[in-house]
Amino acid sequence: MNAANPLDSFRLDRRRAIITGAASGIGKAIANAFANAGAQVILLDLNAEKAAEAAVEIGPRAAGIGCDVSSEASVAAAFERIAADGPPDILVNSAGIAHVGTIETTSPDDLDRLFSVNVRGTYLCMKAAIAHMKPRQSGVILNLASIAATSGLPDRFAYSMTKGAVLAMTLSVARDFLSSKIRCNCISPARIHTPFVDGFVQKNYPGREAEMFATLARSQPIGRMGTIDEVALLALYLCSDASSFVTGADYPLDGGFFNLR
């Protein structure tokens, strides 16, 4: 870091960042943090209307585009549209879906559904981004994995499989594109308080929401769930020049879950 003020290394001025799954939750928080750090952010989401609404909330540095990350044609169209205004400097793969179940209760359709978004979607977006980053010999990719990738969580067979694949892809891309000066890392969160968690608790434990939130909080040794803003701040570090010496890393953001249980 050669900045006169070390904090300047966290700035993303003149950078163009694509964030998938950005209409809500972690993706939206990352997009907001990046915009506040000076980046132009492009929010991709399956729901184009919600992506556009989130972009309006974030401000003039944001734009929302509908994109089905599991579709090669949809990803290609979105990246072509984005590149018409300039190549991307940063890609954050935040789009993902969850599933509760063991191998016995996970159907082939369940497995395919999770694979199509969490694995295929990450692959397609990385491939599209690298096509623009490699010729410029510059770029940063950040994937959202999970502690499920490296810990044996109960009833998370398909989800764990897909997040393990995200971690493996991260390491592979980091290795293969060292010479192209493309950095690739991932964040492995534990339980983060998102609208998905709220909906899951309300649907499955009606009338017991407070009890279940307390149980979920206790599953992290630190005694609470993480916040979307905490994920966004780590993402900002990993996508900025402050982390220019970091590639091929998996960052746990887990309240001590992995080492302190």
Q: Which residues contact 194 (CB under 8 A, 6 or more apart)?
A: 24, 25, 26, 228
DSSP reduced 3-state for 225: coil
DSSP assignment of 30-56: HHHHHHHTT-EEEEEES-HHHHHHHHH
pLDDT in tens, 116-149: 999 999 999 999 999 999 999 999 999 999 999 9
Q: In Å, how far are 26, 204, 220, 228 from 197, measured between CA atoms?
A: 12, 11, 15, 12
Say if residue 1's pLDDT is above 70. Answer: no
- Residue with the bigger pLDDT between 110 and 260: it is 110
| Structural domain spans, the chain | 9-190+226-250, 193-224
Write out the two tokens for 241.
């020049």
Nearest CA to 92 out of 179, 164, 184 is that of: 184
Say if residue 62's pLDDT is above 70. Answer: yes
The Cα–Cα gap between 88 and 138 comes to 10
Give the pairing of strands 182-189 and 139-144.
parallel
- Does the domain spanning 9-190+226-250 belong to CATH 3.40.50.720? yes
pLDDT in tens, 232-254: 999 999 999 999 999 999 999 99
pLDDT band for position 203 (cuts 50, 70, 90):
confident
Say if residue 213's pLDDT is above 90. Answer: no
- Residue 2 has what pLDDT? 53
Q: Which residue has the tokens 């220019």?
A: 244
Say if residue 162's pLDDT is above 90. Answer: yes
Describe the strand order of the beta sheet including 62-66 as a list of residue ranges: 62-66, 40-45, 16-20, 90-93, 139-144, 182-189, 250-253
Between 127-141, 145-159, 201-215, the lowest mean confidence (pLDDT) is in 201-215
- Provide the percentage of residues in the chain whose pLDDT is more than 70: 99
- Residue 208 has what pLDDT? 92
The Cα–Cα gap between 35 and 138 comes to 20
Catalytic residue among 159, 205, 237, 251: 159
- Write down the pTM of the prediction: 0.94
Does 205 qualify as catalytic in the annotation?
no
Say if residue 174's pLDDT is above 90. Answer: yes
Average pLDDT, the chain: 95
